[in-house]
Amino acid sequence: MLYLTEHPHAYRMRCRCRYVCCPATSAVPHRAIRCVATHQNTPSLATHRGEDSMNLTIEQARQLASIFSRPVFRSLGAGSLPASVKRQLAYTADVLESSGGTVGDLFEAAFKQLLKRYRSEYVYKNLLTKKQIFGIHSPSTAALLSEFWVDMSKADSVVLNGTSTVYEIKTEFDNLSRLPQQLTDYSKVFDHINVVTHERGVAAVLAAAPAHVGILALSSRGSFKRVRTSTSNISNLDHWTVFNCLRNQEVGNILLRQFGATPETSADMFRTQCFKRFKRLPKDVLSAEFVLEARKRTTGRETSQFASALPMSLRTLGLIEKLSACRRTALLDALSRPLMPAICK
* pLDDT per residue as tens digits for the range 156-165: 999 999 999 9
End-to-end CA, the chain: 15
Angle (nearest 5°) at CA 193 between 189 and 196: 140
Residue 61 belongs to a domain: no
Query: Does 250 lie in the same domain as 180?
Result: no
What distance in Å separates the CA atoms of residue 345 and residue 336, rounded to the nearest whole number?
16
Residue 108 belongs to a domain: no
Pairing type for strands 192-198 and 214-218 reads parallel
Residue 318 belongs to a domain: no
Total residues found in the chain within this entry: 345
Q: Give the domain range for residue 159.
A: 143-234
Structural domain count of the chain: 3
Q: pLDDT for 57-94, tens place per residue? A: 888 888 889 999 999 999 999 977 788 888 888 888 88
Please say which residue of 185, 219, 234 terminates a domain: 234
Query: Does 205 lie in the same domain as 258?
Result: no
Is the overall model pTM greater than 0.85, yes or no? no
Query: Does 242 lie in the same domain as 224?
Result: no
Tell me the backbone φ, ψ of residue 2, rounded to 5 degrees: -115, 155
Residue 21 belongs to a domain: yes
Q: What is the pLDDT along the chain (345 residues), one digit of tens a residue?
A: 333 333 333 333 333 333 233 433 333 333 222 232 323 333 433 333 444 546 788 888 888 899 999 999 999 999 777 888 888 888 888 888 876 789 999 999 999 999 999 999 999 999 999 999 999 999 988 999 999 999 999 999 999 999 999 999 999 999 999 999 999 999 999 999 999 999 999 999 999 999 999 999 999 899 999 999 999 999 999 999 999 999 999 999 999 999 999 999 998 999 999 999 999 999 999 999 999 999 998 878 899 999 999 999 999 999 999 999 999 999 999 999 998 888 886
Contacts 24+ apart (CB under 8 A), 325-328: 327/74, 327/77, 327/78, 328/77, 328/302
